[in-house]
Amino acid sequence: MHIPKKYFHDKTILALLSALLFLLVATVLSIIVRVVAGDGSDYFVEYRSNVGISAFRTAGLSDMLTFIWFSLLVASLAIGLSLRTYHIKRQLSHIVLMLGALLVLLALVVSHSLLALR
């Protein structure tokens, strides 16, 4: 795959890549630190408000680690799509990186909220 030379010279792209990678590292480290510091019991992974008293669903460690896989997948897809769309339209590449950063940020917030309930 051909990477445009201008891609890494674009200051906005570099800022968005830095923000995306910072959020990715923050998400991964936050989840790992909270899981390692925990007692290893079940974690809340889902909340359904329409169920009533049993609104929280618990699961094991593997379900909590899917937040890490999701963040890695979103970041890699956002970077890959940004590289492929840069030669088509520069602003489209910016939007792809912004939306990827937003998804990783939402994964950070949701995982933090679920781990705080434990």
Let me know if residue 37 belongs to a domain: yes
Quote the pLDDT of residue 95: 96
Q: Domain tally for the chain?
A: 1
The answer to whether 35 touches 116, Cβ cutoff 8 Å, is: no
* pLDDT tens-place string over residues 77-117: 999 999 999 888 889 999 999 999 999 999 999 988 888 87
* pLDDT tens-place string over residues 34-90: 888 876 677 777 777 777 677 777 777 888 889 999 999 999 999 999 999 988 888
110 torsion bin: left (phi>0), alpha (psi -120 to 50), beta (else): alpha
The answer to whether 23 touches 103, Cβ cutoff 8 Å, is: no
Tell me the three state secondary structure of residue 43: strand
Let me know if residue 27 belongs to a domain: yes
Strands (E), the chain: 43-47, 56-59
Let me know if residue 16 belongs to a domain: yes
pTM of the model: 0.85
Let me know if residue 71 belongs to a domain: yes
Strand partners, 58: 44
Let me know if residue 66 belongs to a domain: yes
Let me know if residue 80 belongs to a domain: yes
The boundaries of the domain holding residue 76 are 7-116
CB-CB neighbours of 88 under 10 Å: 9
Let me know if residue 1 belongs to a domain: no
Q: What's the mean pLDDT when you consider all of the chain? A: 88
CB-CB neighbours of 93 under 10 Å: 24
Let me know if residue 89 belongs to a domain: yes
